Structure 1
Amino acid sequence: MNAHTMSWRCYFPSTNSTTYFDGWLNLTNTVFWISELDNKIFVIGCNTLAYMTSSSYVVGCHSTCANGNLKDGICSGAGCCEADVPKNIQYFSSYFNQGYINTSQDSPCSFMVVMQKEDFVFNTSYVKSWVLYDAYNGIVPIVLDWQIHPWTCEVAKQNMSSYACVSSNSECLNSPSEQGHRCICSDGYEGNPYITNGCQDIDECIANPNPCGLDICKNMPGYHNCSCHPGYYMTNGVCLTIQKPSRFPAIPVVGASVGLVVFVIVVACACLVKERRKLQNMKREYSRQHGGLILFDEMKSKQGTTFKIFHEEELQQATDNFSEKQILGHGGHGTVYKGLLKGNVEVAVKKCKTIDEQHKKEFGKEMAILSQINHKNIVKLLGCCLEVEVPMLVYEFVPNGTLFHLIHGNHGRYISLATRLGIAIESADALTYLHSSASTPILHGDVKSPNILLDGNHSAKVSDFGASILAPTDESQFVTLVQGTCGYLDPEYMQTCYLTDKSDVYSFGVVLVELLTGKIPFNLDAPEKEKSLAMMFMSAMKENRLADILDDQVKHDDNMEILEEIAELAKQCLDMCGDNRPSMKEVTEKLDGLMKVMQHPWTQQDPEEMEGLLSEPMANSAIGSAEYFSIEKKAINAMQSGR
């Protein structure tokens, strides 16, 4: 358990000024992290949009008093809203969106806290000035998890002289991040596993209530036994009276016993049938809530579709009951597991954390549209499971890791400019398809290098579009929850909460810069001006220092013109105003043209002549295929006449 200062912002009508304090907590380079199970993000106030930022996430919510529907104990948007804490967070800062100012005379203050969820119960008085601050004296409790760093259990056990789980009857558990471990006492024991004989047997027989009820309880090391009093015998865990010999005929007794057994069996079967019906009804209700009927109708109308609606049992069996050993990765929206369906078909199963009411109502309709996506550079959505509280998505399995791992985790392995440009073209083409060629325009919403998967030939496949939204048709459909990934998030979206196709263009611009520089998009340990890769890149472009930040693997004299063109395109994508950014289609055409120019042999024969031929179209727009072949023809004619 720990504590930290709550964040607040107050508006003073008399001076038309705002005073605020943005709280933060930094556990970097320690063995602690913020428990995602025991803590919540709470935002309290009227007309308040606040969020926490970390090295990987931006998560928050919007509370309002506009409808006057405030209720004690209810924190669902009226005066108070809440959001889940992401996994493995060691650092966060609190921020209030300046576009939302609480100017109420009665409740001019807004608060944002990350704290132990069991210690917070919303009271309507908390929106009144400093009531919440005074209730906690400005300090809120927060629960921390910890680990022994940096070894996993398997590594730690290799050196028993320093192995920490020294108590007998103790066990070692890997931390969620797989970068450390902890020790616990085995089942039936309690105490300190880090000292000799620290885990002591729990005497279950003295517990209240007695686990054996009125029967005899005998404690054993790690467990207990129940036995019957004299005159009774135990069958199926129940003590029954020993029947004394009777002069009455045995047949009625046997008949009564058989009747009792039959009655018990009938009752048990009836209860089992009732529970199964209850479970089936619950699954049908979940399926109905998620638009299952709409999705079934769509599938019937589109013959030949490979999209499948899975049962929960199928996915449990495929993922070994969602075993931790099957986890492929964690994201802001959920956890992805590797699965093996019948027929040895490898898949990736995404188990989402939550789903908002708007998406719950539209889920079936959205799945019907997403199931029609068919593009070689987009991970195929194979199906979904609707009969659970939060739907699960099933994708094709792509085995060769992510673009993020290729750039930042290959330990210096050479990646050519042609390979990087090819990945960029295929990724841009996939986003162009989502924006322009799908039956309904789709906004990805979380474009980043970890969401670009690679096959064995380094061909790109854009993933995680199941967390996307369909392009809104009116203002009421825009979401107000700000959630994304630090370093890739569109600053215009941060201010307006309006997700557009140009938000994806900005995020793709960051991926382009990542490919050019080999640097991570957000580095918490870097100097202030170098924390954000996008800001550092824009500064370098403004000061004509592009060569200083390029990756040494691609920085060659014969590549500089191509690199400058790519950098100029990335600069346009990172424009602060979304309207000034190119469309994904324009980005794809530009990159495709650059690849053709770079690969064609005549670009190496007479650079000055080719530069003259290519400068005008390259400067003004992306080279389409027709333009390119026209330029190529001119270049060949020029070479023939000159030689």
Structure 2
Amino acid sequence: MTHRIVITDFAFINATSPYSGLATGAFMMTAVGLICCFIRRRSKSKARHSAKRRLSEATGSCSIPIYAYKEIEKATKCFSEKQRLGTGAYGTVYAGKLHNDEWVAIKRIKHRDTDSIEQVMNEIKLLSSVSHPNLVRLLGCSIEYGEQILIYEFMPNGTLCQHLQRERGDGLSWQVRLTIATETAQAIAHLHSVINPPIYHRDIKSSNILLDHDFKSKVADFGLSRLGITEISHISTAPQGTPGYLDPQYHQCFHLSDKSDVYSFGVVLVEIITAMKVVDFSRPQDEVNLAAVAIDRIGKGRLDKIIDPFLEPNSDAWTLSSVHKVAELAFRCLAYHQDTRPSMMEVAAELDRIRLSRSELSEEKYSTASSEVSSCSSSNLSEKPLTVMVKRAELENGSLIELQTGAGSFNSMDRVRDNSPVSVQDPWLSEQSSPSSSSLLNNVIQ
């Protein structure tokens, strides 16, 4: 009986001990923690599976490599500020090296809401469906831990905007700027006219034009892009884009079409000519918007007031002429009514003609000089017989042909200059530079 009492008393003491309550509480907390961890892991697994499924749907038959988040962290050194290339409205871009030891551009989406996920999937879908030498290539993505990360080919020379604003480099020559404009126009024209259904970029701007080692341009950032519908002239959607580049008719009427990209590209052309900021509140109130400034100056024949002095447009006739031709094209792109703007195919073709006119001009000058030599050598330069000797001396500005005769010598380039449509000394004649008699710039280049 006594033995039973002892056991009972011990059990009573043990049950009422404070240590038993602590043990029970710890056990319960551990159990709850494990359950929460399991639920969280299962939720992440479902989200990852859902993202992969949507990724598969977005890319279709095209296989986009999926990288582990740990690889991305390692490549960017935990998203180090030293490796940050730039920050935009929808994310930050970092330079990094993946397993193949090649530099890539890693875009980490800033917002993690439903809208940003849709933009990521939209960009993956569009980039995986098109291929063009002047469109940036998508190399992979990462979708772990709620992150949306896109991996692109690395463009070492940054953006066109950075060079125009002198944030990088010492400035771009006119020939380089014109080539960049031509390549960019060709890429956008490809989206509009070759892809079916067409793709409207909706965010054409100089900061979305990337430059490689050789300053070859590539259009990037398709997050806002939309597929067009070929059966109708426009689609209705809420205006999105960057202030200063946004088509005013699209902004007012919600009518999105290929001509909205044309307007934005017209602003880029003005940037290329002027190197001015698209929106600058340090300018007078009526000049804050660069497009408005350009329309006013070009329309009034005062383009020379806003041309980037770095270009030295008066250094030679071709530069002066081509700058004015590009300005006229930009003026047409910036027309308020969409129907009066040219198509991107027309814009690309015109820019290519302007760019190639330099080489054609050189051939024309050489051909004209050669014909002058032939004409002079076959005619009587005096009543006395003359011995004609042709000597070609290579000069910095081209070939100088001298005719030496028994009566003396003279420089035939004086005669060539009189007949040539281009001369660095003489003013460019408007009827030779303008594509039509109704050119807006007839009174500018005289």
Q: Same fold (TM over 0.5)?
A: yes
Is 1:380 the counterpart of 2:193 in the alignment?
no
The alpha carbon displacement at 1:572 in A equals 0.7
The alpha carbon displacement at 1:277 in A equals 6.1
The alpha carbon displacement at 1:472 in A equals 5.6
> Where do residues 398-417 of structure 1 align in structure 2 (5 Å cutoff)?
398-409=155-166, 413=170, 415-417=172-174
Q: Distance in 1 between matches of 2:113 and 2:250?
A: 19
Is 1:515 the counterpart of 2:275 in the alignment?
no
* Cα distance change of structure 1 residues 335 and 580 upon mapping to structure 2, 3 Å threshold: same
Q: Distance in 2 between matches of 1:337 and 1:361?
A: 22
* Cα distance change of structure 1 residues 567 and 373 upon mapping to structure 2, 3 Å threshold: same
Q: CA RMSD in A?
A: 3.8
Matched with 1:558 is: 317
1:322 to 63, 79, 101: 79
Matched with 1:596 is: 356
The alpha carbon displacement at 1:425 in A equals 0.7
Letter in 1 for 2:347: V
* Cα distance change of structure 1 residues 554 and 603 upon mapping to structure 2, 3 Å threshold: farther
The alpha carbon displacement at 1:558 in A equals 0.5
Q: 3-state SS of the aligned residue for 1:510?
A: helix
Q: Distance in 2 between matches of 1:438 and 1:470?
A: 9
Letter in 1 for 2:317: D
Is 1:608 the counterpart of 2:367 in the alignment?
no
Letter in 2 for 1:602: E
Matched with 2:46 is: 284
Q: 3-state SS of the aligned residue for 1:328?
A: strand
Q: Distance in 1 between matches of 2:49 and 2:142?
A: 8
> Contact 1:294/1:365 (CA < 8 Å) preserved in 2?
no
Letter in 2 for 1:493: Y
1:578 to 323, 333, 338: 338
The alpha carbon displacement at 1:420 in A equals 1.0
* Cα distance change of structure 1 residues 272 and 337 upon mapping to structure 2, 3 Å threshold: farther
Q: 3-state SS of the aligned residue for 1:572?
A: helix
1:435 to 166, 169, 192: 192
The alpha carbon displacement at 1:476 in A equals 12
The alpha carbon displacement at 1:619 in A equals 3.5
* Cα distance change of structure 1 residues 530 and 357 upon mapping to structure 2, 3 Å threshold: same
Q: 3-state SS of the aligned residue for 2:256?
A: coil
Letter in 2 for 1:331: G
> Where do residues 402-551 of structure 1 align in structure 2 (5 Å cutoff)?
402-409=159-166, 413=170, 415-471=172-228, 478-480=236-238, 482-551=239-308
> Contact 1:369/1:440 (CA < 8 Å) preserved in 2?
no
TM-score, reference length from structure 1 = 0.49
* Cα distance change of structure 1 residues 569 and 287 upon mapping to structure 2, 3 Å threshold: farther
* Cα distance change of structure 1 residues 539 and 374 upon mapping to structure 2, 3 Å threshold: same
Letter in 1 for 2:358: M
Instruction: Kindly name which structure, 1 or 2, has the bigger radius of gyration based on alpha carbons.
Output: 2
Q: 3-state SS of the aligned residue for 2:259?
A: helix
TM-score, reference length from structure 2 = 0.68
The alpha carbon displacement at 1:411 in A equals 8.3
Matched with 2:387 is: none
The alpha carbon displacement at 1:466 in A equals 3.4
1:66-116 deviation per Cα after TM superposition (whole angstroms, max 9, x unaligned): xxxxxxxxxxxxxxxxxxxxxxxxxxxxxxxxxxxxxxxxxxxxxxxxxxx
**470-479 or 455-464, which deviates more:** 470-479
* Cα distance change of structure 1 residues 536 and 301 upon mapping to structure 2, 3 Å threshold: closer
Q: 3-state SS of the aligned residue for 1:320?
A: coil
Matched with 1:114 is: none
Q: Distance in 1 between matches of 2:312 and 2:365?
A: 17
Q: Distance in 2 between matches of 1:476 and 1:571?
A: 22
Q: What are the ranges of 5 or more consecutive residues in structure 1 without an aligned counterpart?
A: 1-260, 621-643
Letter in 1 for 2:86: G
Matched with 2:37 is: 275
Letter in 2 for 1:278: R
Q: 3-state SS of the aligned residue for 1:504?
A: helix
Q: Distance in 2 between matches of 1:330 and 1:430?
A: 24
For CA contacts below 8 A with separation 6 or more, give which structure has more relative contact order: 2
* Cα distance change of structure 1 residues 575 and 372 upon mapping to structure 2, 3 Å threshold: same
Q: Distance in 1 between matches of 2:192 and 2:47?
A: 33
> Contact 2:59/2:124 (CA < 8 Å) preserved in 1?
no
Matched with 2:68 is: 311
Instruction: State the aligned residue count.
Output: 355
Q: Distance in 2 between matches of 1:527 and 1:310?
A: 49
> Where do residues 29-48 of structure 1 align in structure 2 (5 Å cutoff)?
none
Q: Distance in 1 between matches of 2:435 and 2:106?
A: 43
The alpha carbon displacement at 1:385 in A equals 3.0
Question: Whose strand proportion is higher, 1 or 2?
Answer: 1
Matched with 1:210 is: none
Q: Distance in 2 between matches of 1:363 and 1:477?
A: 21
The alpha carbon displacement at 1:595 in A equals 1.0
